[in-house]
Amino acid sequence: MKILKDRIAIITGASRGIGSHIAETLAAQGVHLSLAARNEAALEEVAETLRTRHGVRVLVVATDVSERLQLERLVQRTQDELGAIDLLINNAALERMEDFVESDWNQTAMDLAVNVQGPMDLTRLVLPGMLERNRGHIVNLASLAGFGAHPHAESYVTTKHAMIGFTRALRASLKARGSQVSASSVCPGFVRDVGMFARKQSSAGVRSPALLGSSSPSAVAHAVVQVIRKDRTEKIVNPMPVRPFLLLALLWPRLGEWIMGKAGIQRISERVIHVERQNH
């Protein structure tokens, strides 16, 4: 999709963090936005800034992406008040680090509902209209964790593996039917300043591993625009080149485990869990 000006996009998880940066970047391209998250007041703040700064239309719809009826309302209001949906950015997600043997069953179910079922349901709702118009793009925010293993993050890693697999399968189906509708995933590593890892940095005093580094939220947002414009299957967002390591880990899983150990991921997880146990 080369032209983004005057397209209509839904962005979930848009009230803060990476979601608000994606909204800013798309608004700068002239995209009209439907912003979804649970915090309506925070969404309104983001929306007012975008209206003033970029002159685009911005709709706010308080939405819990784990609730199917609320997703249906989000899609219907977007169509009624903005128009046909051209872009869907599935950004909302939950993340926890924990000792899995002590994890809460209900929280794991919520992780799956928000990170996997919600994006799939929302995709199912917008896809018929996109196919009818033969125009549209779905972007799923995944993670480097979706290619490998992050210690003490079983639920999160599972959901991000699922989103990469879902995106690849959906994209293959769309290509097989010759449609101009497409799907891509954006896979950040550690992101600084905002979002999940930034909160862990603040609360537990951890730093991203030197082997991986960290990316800015604006880099993630620009990757979203790039995969839409260039119709890329997936885009890894990380300052250090990691695809060779991912390939090695795929071919030799034990080598992948060794690389993860050397990267210091386990130390980060253990530090976060230790601090959170102390705080509780």
Please state whether 80 falls in left (phi above 0), alpha (psi between -120 and 50) or beta: alpha
If 0-12 CB within 10 Å is exposed, 13-18 middle and 19+ buried, where does residue 121 land?
A: middle
- Nearest Cα neighbor of 72 from 58, 61, 59 is 61
Cβ neighbours of 29 (radius 10 Å): 17
What's the pLDDT at 184? 98
Tell me if residue 215 falls in helix, strand or coil: strand
What's the pLDDT at 271? 62
Tell me if residue 179 falls in helix, strand or coil: coil
What's the pLDDT at 204? 46
Q: Where are the domains of the chain?
A: 8-279
Question: For the whole model, what pTM was predicted?
Answer: 0.90
Tell me if residue 59 falls in helix, strand or coil: strand
CATH of 8-279, one of 1.10.645.10, 3.40.50.300, 3.40.50.720, 3.40.50.11540: 3.40.50.720
What's the pLDDT at 102? 86
Q: For the chain, 280 residues long, give each residue's pLDDT as a single digit of tens.
A: 778 999 999 999 999 999 999 999 999 999 999 999 999 999 999 999 999 999 999 999 999 999 999 999 999 999 999 999 999 999 999 988 888 888 899 999 999 999 999 999 999 999 999 999 999 999 999 999 898 877 788 999 999 999 999 999 999 999 999 999 999 999 998 888 776 655 555 554 556 665 677 789 999 999 999 999 999 999 999 887 777 778 887 888 888 777 777 666 666 666 656 555 666 6
142 within 8 A of 92, measured Cβ to Cβ: no
Active-site residues: which are they? 156
232 within 8 A of 182, measured Cβ to Cβ: no
What's the pLDDT at 272? 58
154-176 vs 105-112: helix crossing angle, rounded to 10: 20
